[in-house]
Amino acid sequence: MNKNLLHLAKDVTSDNVLKEPTRKGFGRGLLEAGKRDANVVAACADLTDSTQIGLFAKEFPSRFIQIGIAEQNLVTVGAGLAAMGKIPFVSSYAAFSPGRNWEQIRTTICLNERPVRIVGSHAGLYTGADGATHQMLEDIALMRVLPHMVVVVPGDSLEAERATLALAADSRPAYLRLAREATPVLTTEKTPFEIGKAYVYEPGEDLTIISTGTMTSVALKAAERLFKEGISAEVIHVPTIKPLDTTTILHSVEKTKAVLTIEEGQIAGGLGGAVAELLGEELPVPMKRLGVQDVFGQSGKPDELLEHYGLTDKHLMLAAIELMTRKGK
Amino acid sequence: MATEKLTLEALELKANDIRQDIIRMLEHAGSGHSAGPLGLADIFTALYFDVLKHDPKKPDWDMRDLVILSNGHCVPVQYATMAHAGYFDKKELLTLRKFGSRLQGHPERIKLPGLETTSGPLGCGLSQAAGMALAMRMDQVFHRWIYVVMGDGEQDEGNVWEAAMLAAKYKLNNIIAITDRNNIQIDGPTEQVMPLEDLKAKWESFGWHVMTIDGNNMETIIDTLAMARAIVDKPVMIIAYTIPGKGVGYMEYDYHWHGAPPGIQDVPGDPPKADQAKIALHELRTLRGKIRGEHE
């Protein structure tokens, strides 16, 4: 599989690339899902516009529930809706849902096997000026450990749209992680998306860069710079953290024998954690995880924050060069 | 469809049988909560043998009324009542809390048909009921009632009041909540641990129709539930005053029996542990000596 077969957008590493927040794609996807299936319903905890669930609410007011600022209620009402055969999407900021209501999600959704789709917007450092309280960095880890839970982190707005439609058609509890800020649109209408599949966005030989969410565009930029340095990096975009596409990852790492992961969240328990668990057991190779290193965020512009926390193509390139040295030994 | 209706006297005797099974189950399990389930036996008997529209042989019947046990630790009373109602064989009651059992220590919907949700962690039954009621309204389904049984200590949880606001906002009148007001929680009397009073005023101020009753009086329970179904503009909260440990003298009103089964520990002033279950069963069989037990 390569770029052409995946119908990726052209010039995705240029500065002129089209940008749009992933939450916008979710808003469109949910509206479409609502048109396709009358059982799709939505609830929100007083963040209707910013989580983009408002598009659905406006079109289907009788299928939308305004919960107020009550995230524990948000997900448990979701469990009740699912109990009666509805297909609920419940949204808030990721810091609050699933940040505040983890036990309710565990008991009434996962253990109880009720397919509620929990939509956490404004995740990661891209939340920017709001500061550490609102920059959710631990959500992937929190959701990943729950049995039965699917964890999806779209790489761009179009993928978020497709992921939303896929989750509406799926019958498992799920977490959909979204970002506030506009990020490059890497895919096109024709790009495939399937829950549980990882995609090789850039084929390479020397090392594998595994990325998720907003960091995939950074990974593609880094691969381009590495190519100029004579290093051939394979970039695997992992929009589904759980279930992890172990086949695609192992297939790549068998070839490259070196792995970098990058994500806009804590390295503990997130994508890097998931990949390290897999490779530690199946295929130990030199590896480095890029992400937030066991600290909290702070206010600032997204670019300043990504630079400060080491999540730019430059950081990725330097890490790759260092990793190639380790691999060479 | 529904189980054949019993007379008031028969219902009272049924509740007494259910209490005996609760004692046997808990003694056999060696752990679990005693006081709450004993106190709730009359309410559960009323629900399953008089009030509910249900079919024990078709637990997924799509027009059934729903019972949400929000205070999941009281599930022995629900298991015992369900077995008596015919959901499963009474022999299975003695598997409570054992490895491989469908009767988990706290109720799991996936394990046992007839349970509507999974609970134990407190405070989230009412909000699930609200979600169910909202879904029914979207589907224009009427005359399906959702009975939510809640603890009083449980109402320390914020999630309860989030749900209270939501149910009132949407006027979810097919929710009938029943608070088991037995005044105890694990660490002691509710009014010492975290005062709840004025509980009636709290629920009323949240927009609910509130009734207070003797939760161990069968006729009152049944009449009140009938009245509750006639309230059309608000969700209904029935604050049911029950005697924790009801029917077993040494357990009644004593918070030490909130989280303990008979036969495990010596409690000062109570029978020695070896005799606790025996004495409890004797008291229940004989209605505290008022009648001679058939097996005595």
Residue A118, SS3?
A: strand
Q: What is the mean pLDDT of chain A?
A: 96
**Torsion from C-alpha of B205, B206, B211, B214, nearest 10 degrees:** -100
B296 has a pLDDT exceeding 50: no
Phi-psi sector, A11: left (phi>0), alpha (psi -120 to 50), beta = left
Query: In whole angstroms, how large is the CA radius of gyration of chain B?
Result: 18
**Mean pLDDT to the nearest integer, A309-321:** 97
A-B contacts at Cβ under 8 angstroms = 98
pLDDT band at B259 (very low <50, low <70, confident <90, very high): confident
Predicted pLDDT of residue A1: 46
- The superfamily CATH assigns to domain A19-184 is Thiamin diphosphate (ThDP)-binding fold, Pyr/PP domains (3.40.50.970)
For residue B21, give the nearest of B82, B86, B93 by alpha carbon: B93
Q: Are A69 and A46 in contact (CB under 8 A)?
A: yes
> Virtual CA dihedral for B256, B260, B262, B264, nearest 10 degrees?
-100
User: Under 8 Å CB-to-CB from B274, ≥6 apart: which residues?
Assistant: B263
Q: Which two tokens stand for residue B185?
A: 């929680």
Contact B135 A86 (CB under 8 A): yes
Contact B56, B30 (CB under 8 A): no
Q: ipTM value, please give it.
A: 0.95
Q: Provide the CA B72 distance to its chain's centre, in angstroms.
A: 9
Dig out the tokens for A267 from the structure.
């390295």
Kindly state the average pLDDT of the residues B207-231: 97
Question: What distance lies between CA B239 and its chain's CA centroid?
Answer: 13
Place of tokens 């789709």: A117
Over range B125-138, report the average pLDDT: 98
pLDDT for B261:
92
Number of Cβ within a 10 Å radius of residue A272? 25
**Whose CA is closest to B105, among B115, B120, B84, B94?**
B120
Extents of the domains making up chain A? 19-184, 199-328
The dihedral through the CA atoms of A130, A132, A138, A142 has a sign that is negative
C-alpha distances in Å from residue B147, one per residue of B44, B116, B141, B155: 11, 11, 16, 17
Phi and psi at A219, nearest 5°, equal -65, -40
Q: What are the φ and ψ backbone dihedral angles of A132, each rounded to 5 degrees?
A: -60, -35
pLDDT tier, A3 (very low <50, low <70, confident <90, very high otherwise): low
Per-residue pLDDT reduced to its tens digit, B85-124 = 999 999 999 999 999 999 999 999 999 999 999 999 999 9
A183-184 and A233-237 strand pairing: unpaired
- At B204, is the pLDDT very low, low, confident or very high (cuts 50, 70, 90)? very high
Contact flag B135-A81 (C-beta cutoff 8 Å): yes
A99-139 residue pLDDT tens: 999 999 999 999 999 999 999 999 999 999 999 999 999 99
Strand partners of residue B236: B176, B209
Is the Cβ pair B138, A108 closer than 8 Å? no
> How far does the CA of residue A314 sit from the closest CA of chain B (Å)?
46
Domain boundaries, chain B: 8-286
CA distance A242 to A144: 6
Distance from CA of A215 to the nearest CA of B (A): 36
pLDDT in tens, A151-164: 999 999 999 999 99
Instruction: Give me the CATH topology for the region B8-286.
Output: Rossmann fold (3.40.50)
- Rounded to whole angstroms, how far apart are CA atoms A55 and A141? 29
Residues 6+ apart with CB under 8 A from B288: B247, B249
pLDDT for res B143: 86
The pLDDT tens digits of the residues spanning A189-243 come to 999 999 999 999 999 999 999 999 999 999 999 999 999 999 999 999 999 999 9
**Minimal CA separation from B111 to chain A, in Å:** 10
State the first-to-last Cα distance of chain A, in angstroms, to the nearest integer.
Answer: 31
How far, in Å, are A262, A264, B223 from residue B214 at the CA level? 61, 57, 11
Domains A19-184 and A199-328 belong to one CATH topology? yes
Strands (E), B182-217: 184-185, 188-189, 209-214
Phi, psi of A279, rounded to the nearest 5 degrees = -70, -35
**A contacts of B109 (beta carbons < 8 Å):** 112-113
Rounded Cα distance, B199 and B50, in Å: 28
- Could you give the residue numbers annotated as active site of A? 71
First and final CA of chain B: distance in angstroms? 37
| Percent of all residues in chain B with a pLDDT value above 70, rounded to a whole number | 96
Closest CA to B39 of B65, B15, B10: B15
DSSP-assigned beta bridge partners for residue B188: B185
User: Which of B109, B163, B166 is facing A112, going by the closest CB pair?
Assistant: B109
Provide the pLDDT for residue B292. 57
Cross-chain residue pair A68–B166, CB shorter than 8 Å: yes
Q: Which amino acid does the sequence have at A126?
A: Y
Which chain B residues touch A81 with a CB distance below 8 Å? 131-132, 134-135
- Which of B121, B134, B166 comes nearest A81 by C-beta? B134
Name the pairing type of β-strands B66-69 and A287-292.
Answer: unpaired
**Backbone phi and psi for residue B41, each to the nearest 5 degrees, phi listed first:** -60, -35
CA angle B127–A152–A199, rounded 5-degree value: 165
Chain A residues closer than 8 Å to B65 by CB: none
Q: Tell me the C-alpha distance between A211 and A133, whole Å.
A: 24
- Per the listing, tokens 């009358």 go with A38
pLDDT tens readout for residues B40-96: 999 999 999 999 999 999 999 999 999 999 999 999 999 999 999 999 999 999 999
Supply the DSSP string of B76-98, one letter for each residue: HHHHHHHHHHTSS-GGGGGGTT-
A77 to B124: CB separation less than 8 angstroms, yes or no:
no
- A contact set with B (CB within 8 A): 41, 62-63, 65, 67-68, 70, 72-73, 76-86, 88, 103-104, 107-108, 111-113
Contacts for A61 with CB less than 8 Å, ≥ 6 apart = none
Specify whether the CB–CB gap between A241 and A140 falls below 8 A: yes
| Residues in B lying within 8 Å of A, measured between beta carbons | 108-110, 116-121, 123-124, 127-136, 138-139, 158-159, 162-163, 165-166, 170
Residues of chain A with Cβ-Cβ distance to B123 below 8 Å are 72
Q: Can you read off the two tokens belonging to residue B222?
A: 């049944």
What distance in Å separates residue A112's CA from the closest CA in chain B?
Answer: 6
Residue B1, pLDDT > 50, answer no
Q: Is the dihedral of CA B125, B127, B132, B137 positive or negative?
A: positive
Spatial CB neighbours of B10, under 8 Å, sequence gap ≥ 6: none
Per-residue DSSP letter, A112? T
Measured in degrees and rounded to the nearest 5, phi and psi for residue B156 equal -70, -25
Residue B291 predicted with pLDDT over 70: no
Q: What is the CA radius of gyration of chain A?
A: 19
Residues of A in contact with B163 (CB under 8 A): 73, 76-77
In whole angstroms, give the CA distance from residue B232 to residue B224. Answer: 15
Q: Smallest Cα–Cα separation from A151: which of A131, A123, A190? A: A123
The percentage of chain A sitting over the pLDDT mark of 90, rounded to a whole number, equals 96
CA–CA dist B59, B39 (Å, integer) = 25
| A112·B110 Cβ contact <8 A | yes
Q: Which fold has domain A199-328?
A: Rossmann fold (3.40.50)
Cα angle: B94, vertex B95, B100; to 5 degrees = 175
pLDDT digits (tens, 9 = 90+) for B5-37: 899 999 999 999 999 999 999 999 999 999 999
